[in-house]
Amino acid sequence: MTKPKRIVTSDNVEQVIKELLDLPFWPPGINTDEIYRAQTDDTDGKPEYGWLMVQFSCDGDAWVSQSATERGMPDDIRFRMPCGGGRHLRVRNAICILAMAMKLDMEGQGNPSYDSYEDEEDWEEG
Pairing of strands 77-79, 51-56: unpaired
Bridge partner list, 37:
53
On the question of pLDDT at 112 being above 80, the answer is: no
Q: What CA–CA distance (Å, rounded) separates 89 from 39?
A: 25
On the question of pLDDT at 32 being above 90, the answer is: yes
On the question of pLDDT at 119 being above 70, the answer is: no
Average pLDDT, integer, range 8-34: 92
pLDDT grade for 122, boundaries at 50, 70 and 90: very low
Average pLDDT, integer, range 81-110: 88
In eight-state DSSP terms, residue 3 is: P
Determine the pLDDT at residue 82: 86
How much is the pTM? 0.72
* SS3 state at 23: coil
Average pLDDT, integer, range 68-81: 70
